Amino acid sequence: MSFKLFMLLVQACGWTIVISSISIVLGLLLGTVVSAAMQSSQRAVSLAGRTFVSFFRGAPLLVQLLLIYNLLPMLGLNVPSMVAAIIGLSLCTAAYQAENLRGGFASVPQGLLEAADMLGLTPFQQFWRIRAPIALRMTLPALTNEAIMILKASSLVSVVGVVELTRMAQDLSASTFKPLPLYAAAALLYLVINTVVSVGANRLEGSFRWGVKA
């Protein structure tokens, strides 16, 4: 495989990273909302939250992506396939992150919330200043896991025509008839990205010891 082909793959990595990062961040925001909904005292709201999590964890991501990719135009939303892909990945990861956050929120000591109550913090302040930061810190290892899952799952968006790493490897092997080295190189690049993420996250966890002890 020539250097030129390899560089094309490396460039395509950029899109893999961009799509994954945006999805992780959007998924985290949506996941926070969903996990709050799941714990709501209103029956309908918590049922909606739980149904969301159950559905997006129960159906294969590929089917979700195909569904969203085909559903959006039917609803009159003609968005680029990149946007559909990011929506699909974000919804799916939000369900997993909501579950992780639920565990994190459950680990926030009751005493801290009582103290916040005493100090007169509003529920909104309590959420964003006490509960959310502590829960996030507790969820960090699971979040790393999820980031790596999404990096790998982003290969599926090649199916809806987004040219990221997998799609680039596919296109190049179709035009050069060299699938073996191209897919091997793509696999290697995924491995490198994932290793960087997991090593970086371990460092971050190490330097991120503030908050409550588990």
Partner 1 sequence: MTFDFDLIASAGPELLRAGGVTLLIWLAGTLAAVVLGFFVAIGRRYGPPTLDKGLRAYVDLIRGTPFLIQLFLLYYGGPFIGLTLDPVPAGLFGLAVYGAAYFSEIFRAGFESVPRGHVEAAECLGLTRVQIVGRILVPEMTVLVLPPMVNMVIVLLKETAVLSIITVPELTFQVSSLGSANYAFVEALFLLACFYWALVEICGNLGRLAEARLSRFGLKNA
> What's the closest the beta carbon of residue 189 comes to partner 1, in angstroms?
9
> What's the closest the beta carbon of residue 159 comes to partner 1, in angstroms?
6
Binding range to partner 1, per CB under 8 A, among 20-28, 39-47, 96-104, 165-173? 165-173
Angstrom distance (rounded) from CA 30 to CA 135: 15
Binding range to partner 1, per CB under 8 A, among 7-15, 134-142, 176-184, 199-207? 176-184
Q: What is the dihedral of CA 171, 177, 179, 182, to 10 degrees?
A: -70
Rule CB under 8 A: say whether 184 interacts with partner 1: yes
Angstrom distance (rounded) from CA 51 to CA 91: 13
Q: How many positions of this chain bind partner 1 (CB under 8 A)?
A: 37
Taking CB under 8 A as the criterion, the residue among 32, 97, 126, 166 binding partner 1 is 166
Rule CB under 8 A: say whether 84 interacts with partner 1: no
- Token pair belonging to 34: 């969903």
Taking CB under 8 A as the criterion, the residue among 113, 144, 183, 205 binding partner 1 is 183
Angstrom distance (rounded) from CA 65 to CA 92: 9
Which conformational region is residue 177 in: left (phi greater than 0), alpha (psi within -120 to 50 degrees), or beta?
A: left
- Token pair belonging to 89: 């990945």
> What's the closest the beta carbon of residue 16 comes to partner 1, in angstroms?
10
Rule CB under 8 A: say whether 63 interacts with partner 1: yes
Strands (E), 32-119: none
Mask for 185-214, x = binds partner 1 (CB under 8 A): -xx--xx--xx-------------------
CB 100 within 8 A of CB 143: yes
CB atoms within 10 A of CB 42: 9
Mask for 17-56, x = binds partner 1 (CB under 8 A): -------------------------------------xx-
Angstrom distance (rounded) from CA 161 to CA 157: 7
CB 77 within 8 A of CB 86: no
Taking CB under 8 A as the criterion, the residue among 4, 58, 110, 124 binding partner 1 is 58
Q: Contact residues for partner 1 (CB under 8 A)?
A: 54-55, 57-64, 66-67, 70-71, 74-75, 152-156, 158-159, 166, 169-170, 173, 179-180, 183-184, 186-187, 190-191, 194-195
